[in-house]
Amino acid sequence: MSADQPTRANVMAHPEAERLDTLMAVLMAYIRDVCCVDGLFHAERTKELYKDLLSVFDKLILPTHASCHVQYTLFYLCSFKLALAEAFLDHLWKVLQNPSQPAILRQAAAGYLGSFLARAKFVPVLTVRACLDLLLTWIHRYIDSQDNSCKQVCCDISLHGPFYAACQAVFYTLIFRHRAILEANMKKGLEYLQSLNLERVVMCQLNPLKVCLPSVTNMFAAVTRKYQVVFCYTIIEKNNRQVLPVVRSSAGGDGVTTNTNPLDSFFPFDPYVLKRSGQLIEPLYQVWDELAETDLLPAKVAQQVLKEDEDDFLSGETPHGEGMLGMTPSSYGSNICSPSSVDSPSMAHHGAFKF
């Protein structure tokens, strides 16, 4: 049934949600009509629409914390042509690595980048790998800049917010896309994951595992432990014994003793819950697939991994389903200082990111 034809089963219970669903269905129908004329893709009309929506995204959507559903207009548009998706990723990348942008926008761009790579089925593995390569190159250069600094390196979100957001984008992307990376060729896939030098990232003095959402940290640890790429649990346990204070409290007054979301992060392409317009998103969307302990692993390696640590995180404490991904974090409500510049190439220069 078309998303334009409401039925009783498609009606949202909450009146405001129903209105939003109706508006999103109308907007997506408009996007479809602009992009496809007589069943054929129209490049010029699509390009103009993309520019208009990207302008709205920069002015209104990106600065809006925990925006819900509206950002899926760009998600849907990007599904019509890979060049659109790559152009959007390139745009987000430029915001993230630009030191002249406010840190809060750079962190938001990292959230969009990781969430888009994780959830968009129409983004191929080659594009995912190209983005991971650029993100990790930037992250390693950032670590180099801190190691070479005369100042003492510490876990300070106000100074290193975009760095932590970039790390979380990498962790989140790998949680969702590691299977696709390994599917074609297990050996080459593992070699690729090892080439990212994730161990250096998680063990650096900036300690990103301490700052990222615990759900993301734990699942990333489970995935990398499973394939023996990185062993994160010693660091996680050490971090759990320490208290990470709240920088600011959105409720006012004194902050609480701990903050499980110090980056104030959210995933903009979390599951789409509107019923009618959601029918257009569903075939494009990567849902969460629960981690299986022995999937994609040779039997001997799987047995060795499980034997090494029988009470490991993977034995039964892995977060399941969408619960780890559906959080609505509170907001700092303020900008954070931007860290020093770390030059990095454009995604457009890395592969086929042209539109």
The string of pLDDT tens digits covering residues 109-125 is 999 999 999 999 999 99
Give pTM, 2 decimals. Answer: 0.80
Q: How many C-beta atoms lie closer than 10 Å to residue 212's C-beta? A: 25
287-344 pLDDT, tens digit per residue, is 987 655 445 344 344 344 444 443 443 333 433 333 344 333 332 222 223 333 444 4
Higher pLDDT, 311 or 196: 196
Report the interhelical angle of 157-183 vs 125-147 (nearest 10°). 150
Please state the rounded mean pLDDT for residues 42-46: 96
Single-letter code of the amino acid located at 147: D
99-111 pLDDT, tens digit per residue, is 999 999 999 999 9
Q: How many C-beta atoms lie closer than 10 Å to residue 133's C-beta? A: 16
Helix (H) or strand (E) holding 158: helix 157-183
Least confident window among 121-125, 150-154, 191-195:
150-154
- Tokens 């992307």, residue located: 173
Higher pLDDT, 151 or 162: 162
Band of residue 355 on the pLDDT scale cut at 50, 70, 90: very low
What are the backbone angles phi and psi of residue 34, rounded to the nearest 5°?
-70, -45
Position 255 scores a pLDDT of 45
Band of residue 5 on the pLDDT scale cut at 50, 70, 90: low
pLDDT exceeds 80 at position 68: yes
Q: How many C-beta atoms lie closer than 10 Å to residue 71's C-beta? A: 18
Higher pLDDT, 150 or 20: 20
pLDDT exceeds 60 at position 43: yes
Q: Which two tokens stand for residue 145?
A: 């800049």
Beta bridge partners of 237: none
Q: What is the largest CA-CA distance in the chain?
A: 65
Position 147 scores a pLDDT of 84
Residue 336, helix vs strand vs coil? coil
166-192 pLDDT, tens digit per residue, is 999 999 999 999 999 999 889 999 999
% of the chain surpassing 90 pLDDT? 64
| Mean pLDDT of all residues belonging to the chain | 81
Beta strands in the chain (DSSP E): 36-37, 40-41
Higher pLDDT, 352 or 136: 136
